[in-house]
Amino acid sequence: MSFVHYLECSNCGNKLEPDRLWNLCTICGKPLIVLYDLKKIRRSVKQGDITGRKPNLWRYHELLPVQNPNNILCLGEGFTPLIHATGLGKALRFANLFIKDEGQNPTGSIKARGLAVAVSRARELGVKEVSIPSRGNAAGAMSAYAAFGGLKAFVYMPRDVPKTFVVECIAMGAEVQLVNGSINNCEQKAAQDARQFRRFDMSTFKEPYRVEGKKTMGYELAEQMGWKLPDVIIYPTGEGTGLVGMWKAFEELQNLGWIKSKLPRMVAVQSGRCAPIVKAFNQGKEFADPWPEAQTIAHGLCVPGTIGDFLVLHTLRESRGTAVAVSDKEIMKAIKQVSDTQGIFCCPEGAATLAAFKNLRKQGWIEDNETVVLFNTATGLKYIHLWAKDLRF
């Protein structure tokens, strides 16, 4: 089933055994990564074996951490469509433009991937109560898998989060705490309660398996493109688990000998009002400084600082990618353009990738004959509050 070998600290290389619950590295406090026995996988699975499997992310189960198939909590996450965006492409006069539509995941967002895997694995290791600080989508996804798995879910969200996200969690039986202040205040409160009441902390990068769920986007891109990869991937970056996860997936696929093409240039998109990764990238820094007074309509991008910053920056540089900031105004224009040329009602984070694409093309960073994938990370239906003012409802 799973070929996990061991866990390793992304910073100091400390090795930990995989069959116990861990949060951060026990020596230096940085994120842990999961390593697999790729030699064994290479001997026992072929690319072609994957093709006939069910269309969800568990089709890559050898490269995921759950040991017993009975412990998989599956609501159909992953294997989202990779859409050749000919409508949008025509409007932009660009032929090879694709959209990976993560809005079609359970709970309507990309967060289902990470939390399906992390909650399944935590439950397999005996966890009964899980906790998460979130701006919305991660909380909804964790609540769903906890409900399905019979775990108790505790969610901490900033008080000003749109009601959609609160309702979603409550409906699925989570205990919701609305916290005054920013996501950082939520993180502190969640961590404090998790320690006191012995709940498992599912914060981004603070347990090793959400990244494993997110990396499946990388496998899917390869599989859906005939085991080749695009020239450029543009991804809306908050914590950066998607970018780090996909890069890990590509390295694993290369080591398995399943892909031969060169790896894509990875692009992180952030909002101009919260762009710590863009700033650190441009300054050539290894770590990002926390962004003061972060604010944007794209809640998923409103992350003033992340413990995985050095992993995101490393991915951008190693892939010869770049980082781009866009304005909320550009994002709103882009939501409208993707919706009415392509029929995909996208979220603001997803629209940010189109705004970045336009900027990069103007600069000549993307050439006409290249293949580009944009990520729409959630359905626009979760964000109708953005339209309320203009449409007067």
Ligand X SMILES: *Cc1c(COP(=O)(O)O)cnc(C)c1O
> How many whole angstroms separate alpha carbon 301 and alpha carbon 218?
20
Query: Interface with ligand X includes 240 (CB under 6 A)?
Result: yes
202, 253, 347, 374: residue in contact with ligand X (rule CB under 6 A)? 347
Query: Interface with ligand X includes 237 (CB under 6 A)?
Result: yes
Q: How far is the CB of 111 from ligand X (least distance, A)?
A: 5
Record the tokens describing residue 249, joined without a space: 């997936």
Q: How far is the CB of 247 from ligand X (least distance, A)?
A: 12
> How many whole angstroms separate alpha carbon 201 and alpha carbon 4?
22
Q: How far is the CB of 384 from ligand X (least distance, A)?
A: 14
109, 120, 337, 353: residue in contact with ligand X (rule CB under 6 A)? 109
Interactions with ligand X, residue window 299-318 (CB under 6 A)? 300
Q: What is the DSSP string of 313-341?
A: HHHHHHTT-EEEEE-HHHHHHHHHHHHHH
Reduced to 3 states (helix: H, G, I; strand: E, B; else coil), residue 242 is helix
10, 322, 377, 379: residue in contact with ligand X (rule CB under 6 A)? 377
H or E segment to which residue 270 belongs: strand 265-271
In this chain, which residue has its C-beta nearest to ligand X?
300
Q: How far is the CB of 381 from ligand X (least distance, A)?
A: 12
CB nearer to ligand X: pick between 243 and 256: 243
The structure tokens 């705004």 sit at 355
Query: Interface with ligand X includes 379 (CB under 6 A)?
Result: no
Q: CB under 6 A: which stretch of 105-113, 142-150, 177-185, 219-227 binds ligand X? A: 105-113
110, 127, 217, 297: residue in contact with ligand X (rule CB under 6 A)? 110
Q: How far is the CB of 74 from ligand X (least distance, A)?
A: 20
Task: Give one word for 387, left, alpha or beta, with left for phi > 0 and alpha for psi -120 to 50.
Answer: alpha
Q: CB under 6 A: which stretch of 178-186, 193-201, 232-240, 329-337 binds ligand X? A: 232-240
> How many whole angstroms separate alpha carbon 288 and alpha carbon 308?
10
Strand ranges across the sheet with 32-36:
15-16, 4-9, 32-36
H or E segment to which residue 36 belongs: strand 32-36
Q: Within 10 Å of residue 170's Cβ, how many Cβ atoms?
A: 13
Query: Interface with ligand X includes 353 (CB under 6 A)?
Result: no
Reduced to 3 states (helix: H, G, I; strand: E, B; else coil), residue 353 is helix
Query: Interface with ligand X includes 239 (CB under 6 A)?
Result: yes
DSSP-assigned letter for residue 274: B
Query: Interface with ligand X includes 331 (CB under 6 A)?
Result: no
Q: How far is the CB of 377 from ligand X (least distance, A)?
A: 3
Q: Which residues bind ligand X (CB under 6 A)?
A: 109-111, 137, 204, 236-242, 300, 347, 349, 377-378
